[in-house]
Chain A
């Protein structure tokens, strides 16, 4: 393995999962995310030498976002609108679930599904900022770099997405019983 490849693998590959999750939050269709991630990793590798002292994770996610935008534009041109794939979203839990009491587990899975649906319902630019903050635990500066907006915009989007998620969560809790679906 050559030296650039080794450096790339040490610095960038640890963020592959984050890149994949980010692509999922951007497109919410797993097959699109696959293409976007692969293209992004290639572009990242080609541009790796230009990366100097910048935050690797934020840099990689910015590339993922650019690839997503390019792919989305191409799809638009072809007039292709993917349907949300709810089942695939649920499958994602299979890998992370830890077995506990089966009854607790089923309630929890219900809640996870509800939450997943609520997240999917947020506008993309709100969803991504929220998830980068809460799940990837990135700071404002990193999120600003990854999503290519000023820090002030990150802050206002965060505030709005948090308020919206909270409101929808309450609505859900007050609405129909969860078992009926």
Chain B
């Protein structure tokens, strides 16, 4: 027979109770050996699961497939999606001809709006720049900067083989003032990009790399106080981003391109 409080003890364990109930339950646990045992079981099961249960990620092929499906969906049926909504509001008595006109109008304006998005939006905002700045800022938060800590390019480069979709240039320029500190995998442009992390004085420089897939690169830019320098080498596109000055950033870019 289970103690009647077992579900409450579980809720306490899952941090689902308020402070008053928590105090009550703690008092109960002190006196109930069964609930003490339960609590330790719960901890054990959680420990085992969080340590050893498979923690899978979406396979790259499936992710790409999803993105393609979304591309098709957001390209084609914008007009189709507008029509049924409009239809609901209109009285059914209207003559048929009105419908044809209304449908044409709705579809036409949807297509016009879509074209406007495609033509105008990329000029006003380049999502890639925002993505890069966000990733860079996130990487500066505690424990986010580096997945593989190493000043040895022979450690960092092979690590990427298992963790990113690309294999970028990795080199240590300690002599020139750019110390290699490690690498990280980051999600960018719908792929697992490789990030090589350098330290220059007090500044962190993240060098992102991803497969270009024929997309053109944005021009060098400054966003939120961070400089972004872009270049292409073979199939790979690179972006070095940091809060150092342009000269320091350019010097690293030149070293990497050599």
Contact = CB atoms under 8 A, between A and B. Distances in A.
Interface in B62-76: 62-63, 65-66, 69-70, 73-74
Contacts of A134: 45-46, 49-50, 53
Contacts of A169: 45, 48
Contacts of B6: 159
Nearest to A2: B117
Contact of B45 (A93, A96, A108, A165): A165
Contact of A135 (B53, B59, B121): B53
Contacts of A156: 7
A1 B121 contact: yes
B52 interface: yes
A34 interface: yes
Interface string A1-34: 1111110100000001101110010000000001
A56 interface: no
B46 A155 contact: no
Interface stretch (A35-43, A57-65, A68-76): A35-43
Contacts of A67: none
Contacts of A21: 55-56
Interface in A114-149: 115-116, 119, 130-131, 133-135, 139-140
Interface in B9-30: 10-11, 14-16
Contact of A112 (B52, B78, B117): B52
The number of chain B residues touching the other chain, given as a range, is 35 or more
B81 interface: yes
B69 A135 contact: no
B217 interface: no
A115 B70 contact: no
A70 to B, nearest CB: 17
A111 interface: yes
A93 B58 contact: no
Interface in A82-124: 89, 92-93, 95-96, 108, 111-112, 115-116, 119
Contacts of A38: 62, 65-66, 69
Contact of A3 (B58, B66, B117): B117
B52 A5 contact: no
Nearest to A39: B69
Given A116-B53, A133-B14, 15 more contacts: A2-B117, A3-B121, A21-B55, A38-B62, A45-B70, A46-B81, A95-B162, A112-B54, A131-B49, A139-B15, A159-B7, A162-B10, A165-B49, A166-B41, A169-B45
Interface of B: 6-7, 10-11, 14-16, 41-42, 44-46, 48-50, 52-59, 62-63, 65-66, 69-70, 73-74, 78, 81, 114, 117-118, 121-122, 127, 162
The 3 closest A-B pairs by CB, nearest first: A2-B117, A20-B58, A134-B49
